[in-house]
Chain A
Amino acid sequence: MTTLLDKLWDSHEIHCGRDGRSLLWVDRHLVHEGSHHAFSKLAERNSMVVEPNLTFGVADHYVPTRGTAASPAIVRMIETLERNAEKHGITYYGQLDSRQGIVHVIGPEQGLTLPGLLITCGDSHTSTHGAFGALAFGIGATEVSHVLATQTIWQSRPKSMRIAISGNLLPGVGSKDLALAWIAKLGADGAREHAVEYTGSAVRRLSMDGRMTLCNMSIEGGARFGMIAPDETTFAYIKDRPFAPSDALFKRAQMYWETLTSDENAEFDREVCIDASEIAPIVTWGTSPEDALPVTATVPNPTALAGTDSERVASAIDYMGLVPGRALTEVQIDQVFIGSCTNARIEDLRAAAAVLAGRRAKVPGLVSPGSQQIKAQAEAEGLDHIFIDAGLEWGNAGCSMCVAMNGDRVQSGKRCASTTNRNFRGRQGRDARTHLMSPAMVAAAAITGHLTDVRPFLKERLTE
């Protein structure tokens, strides 16, 4: 009668305080340039990282993806991480390391992310790693310093929520659409205080790349934790990864991993059911990931709404420069971006390339692979040529244009069709306008120069 959440939680609990908080063991702690405040706190205490072999550093948020660093402050951020990694004896993937990439891409890629582990990182998209049946969550700088100093973390157990996704995703509809669909349905705070477990036939059929996209977006619906019980797809992905167990140890681990499911009669605090076959390709129109609609819809009309909803929608439409009632497919874009911890894995690049192959983009854009290994793999498959021949720029690995802190950003007033996770005001650059969608949908928008339903493009491909 136990949920996956409870199994993972109980297996990491060292102590439960009278105030209800648990002291949990951390199996993997991932740090990046943004962790500098936490290292400063550690230095103030004259403390050292207590488990350097369980701590891994990577430069991703501030690394340039094209040319050299944009400013001395950015150079300093990367150097500070490098210095801290060296001081504390932490494995570090710097800009020149062939294993470098976005922290939530390289963790799984290196086999650092495994089922049953507790994984923390000072980044809200740490929920990504839950795709392996791990308890993975984003933490703030004070908590990062606590993990560095003690390899543990104090947490209150979240409530449990099951999102059961039945049926089949239709052609042209992917994991990103699934994520945006539930966030639109429940709201950007719909799953706050909850850990979400994704179940159902549509989830089982997702590849690990697809599962990571789904779990990654959990935080955009308010859930600090997203998770999927591991299965054969998971085990096949992990096998032979550099840091994964091998041979007899792998077999022993797998026996345990197979127990990491919610029991059949497990009770969740909240249950939501979604039929995958009802989901169409989705785009966001506003300034919160909850502002998401099928691409076939029209821009909402604030006058048709009441109270704060009306005000919020009117304000978002004003920021986004849209016309209420107008078809979303009429919205002209200035550029595209394919990248981020949400959608920069090999399957994402393949999906975009499948649409772009032999076609030209009407607008400029940047493709930033999630890691250097993915970049190399994409190049081996010739995907880089497809992007370059379409007129897009092929960059290096990093958080790039998703975070607007590394030199890659969308200029003021410009509109970007983006595979990223946040369409917040100013997220991709001050006064930038972001429309979130899947890699295939971004590719379609690049070709037409406006928001576009990718499905006809795929149909053409199938009959060619």
Chain B
Amino acid sequence: MTGWSKHTGMATAIDIENIDTDQIIPARFMSAPRSDGYGGFLLHDLRFDTTGNPRPNFPINLFPAVSILVGRRNFGTGSSREAAVYALGDFGIRAVIAPSFGDIFAANCINNGVLPALVSNKAATDLIVWLSGRQAQLNLNIRSRTISFDDQTVTFTLNDASAQKLLNGWDDIDLTQHHLSAIAAYRARRAQMQPWVFPANETAG
């Protein structure tokens, strides 16, 4: 995964609260291998009717080239399925702006280079109104935690750890390799002090 600090792209609004990960990617698509590409599954049942035809007025059908979505509260609530972020990423989405996110979804975003930009309720509403029925360009800056458009700038919240991961594109498994001796020492200490934490009846292998 490559890191990034700035992005300029087209944004549109999805003016719906509680967009859960079951809506971002319905369960029936999740057995597909990642190599198939998940972009076509994004918000599938909102985008397409039961006969498979696109609903013409759904925002990302109107504006398929957007790379930023603005949503309402509790975006990405529900299931931990990382496939929801694969669908966003494969569709070309680099950032979601919303006043609250599902915690697991937000973590999954960070692990896939997608920015979950947390803004105030007012800022989200203002953006949604500004984007109503159209797409428009936004500039995102992870270092300054800003979203700018026209002559306006709004700030978003992102903790330092998440910002560092997005900026560097680091894989945690590589990072953890620097702590192997501490992990081994912890494990040994735990086995000695609290042997009961290891399963009593090890049947594996």
Contact = CB atoms under 8 A, between A and B. Distances in A.
Contact of A140 (B104, B194, B200, B201): B104
A35 to B, nearest CB: 10
B50 A405 contact: no
A25 B22 contact: no
Which of B72, B81, B173, B195 has the most chain A CB atoms inside 10 A of its CB? B173
B89 to A, nearest CB: 12
Interface size bracket, A side: 35 or more
B17 A430 contact: no
Interface in B77-115: 77-83, 85-86, 100-104, 107-108, 111-112
Contact of B202 (A53, A124, A244): A53
A25 B176 contact: no
B18 to A, nearest CB: 5
Among B20, B79, B112, B179, find the residue whose CB has the most chain A CB atoms closer than 10 A: B79
A188 B22 CA distance: 15
B17 A222 contact: no
Interface residues of B, number: 64
B199 A243 contact: yes
B50 A431 contact: yes
Interface stretch (B6-14, B130-138, B180-188): B180-188
B73 interface: yes
A83 to B, nearest CB: 14
Contacts of A27: 197
Contacts of B172: 142, 146, 154
B173 A252 contact: no
22 contacts: A14-B183, A14-B186, A19-B159, A19-B164, A23-B179, A25-B183, A25-B186, A25-B190, A34-B30, A37-B86, A53-B202, A53-B204, A54-B199, A91-B204, A142-B112, A188-B74, A312-B16, A405-B30, A422-B22, A427-B20, A427-B22, A431-B50
Interface of A: 14-15, 17, 19-21, 23, 25, 27-28, 34, 37, 40, 45, 47, 52-54, 62, 73-74, 76-77, 89-91, 111-112, 114, 116-117, 122-124, 138-143, 145-146, 149-152, 154, 156, 158, 187-189, 192-193, 219, 222, 224, 242-246, 249-250, 252-253, 256, 287-288, 290, 308, 311-312, 315, 403-405, 412, 422, 424-427, 430-431
Across chains A and B, which 10 residue pairs bring their CB atoms closest together, nearest first? A142-B111, A140-B108, A19-B161, A245-B196, A141-B82, A140-B82, A253-B196, A405-B27, A189-B74, A124-B80
Interface of B: 15-18, 20, 22-23, 26-28, 30-34, 45, 50, 72-74, 77-83, 85-86, 100-104, 107-108, 111-112, 159-161, 164, 172-173, 175-176, 179, 182-183, 186-187, 190, 194-205
